[in-house]
Amino acid sequence: MKREKDGLRKQIKERLSRLSSEELKAKSAALEKRFLESPEFNSSQSLLVYISLPEEPETRGIVKKSLELKKKVYAPKLDGDYICVCELHGLDKLKPGHFGIYEPPGDAKCDLREFDLVIVPGLAFDIHGNRLGRGGGFYDKLLSSLTGEFIAFAFDEQIVNRVPTLEHDVRVHKIFTDARVIDCGR
């Protein structure tokens, strides 16, 4: 299983590396527009949103729009082997943390576990909502303790026929891409 997952990670990273920065920006903009116009976003009051890496669908615009609309916005922060959740009041105080991922600063933590929407990162997804992360298992641990609708953001190049899964892997309910929305069911 590990070899299969590692092979898929390599394949997706190669696909993404072939996209220019202009293509990544255009795809991110299309995904963001689709999400911001969605009933899921418009009916939500609280969101947990990851802060994107350069090769991931951009999330900062969604954070800004959410804050403008007075929604409660939270972001993950790595704390040892665990991801804690911190409320965001803006993007200006984010600092690079573990693995170069931008995180809320300081010791701000939140025990909130109920969100309307949980925006989930990943390297690959299939139409059944199975998700392949980066290999640390951090997000699966976090997701298993949360409630809400789990929504993945991905470029269409990250959608594959089948993601190999283990018992502890957590599925997403919907996938928003630059080209479509995939309803994975509950």
3-state secondary structure (DSSP) of residue 19: coil
The span from the CA of 9 to the CA of 22, in Å, is 23
Pairing of strands 147-153, 114-120: parallel
**Tally of CA atoms within 13 A in the half-sphere of 9 that contains its CB:** 12
Closest CA to 178 of 13, 58, 62, 65: 58
**Higher local confidence (pLDDT), 36 or 186:** 36
The span from the CA of 69 to the CA of 87, in Å, is 15
User: How many residues are listed for the chain in this entry?
Assistant: 186
Beta bridge partners of 78: 83
Residues contacting residue 92 through CB under 8 Å, at least 6 positions apart: none
In this prediction, residue 39 carries a pLDDT of: 96
- For the cut 60, the answer to whether the pLDDT of residue 108 exceeds it is no
CATH number at residue 21: 3.40.50.10420
The tally of domains found in the chain comes to 1
3-state secondary structure (DSSP) of residue 156: helix
Structural domain that includes position 32: 2-183
The span from the CA of 134 to the CA of 88, in Å, is 24
CA angle 122, 7, 178 (to 5 degrees): 35
Structure confidence at residue 170 as a pLDDT band (50, 70, 90): confident
Structure confidence at residue 78 as a pLDDT band (50, 70, 90): confident
**Higher local confidence (pLDDT), 90 or 73:** 73
Global confidence as pTM:
0.89
* pLDDT tens column, 26-40: 999 999 999 999 999
**Higher local confidence (pLDDT), 87 or 16:** 16
The span from the CA of 70 to the CA of 41, in Å, is 13
- For the cut 90, the answer to whether the pLDDT of residue 61 exceeds it is yes
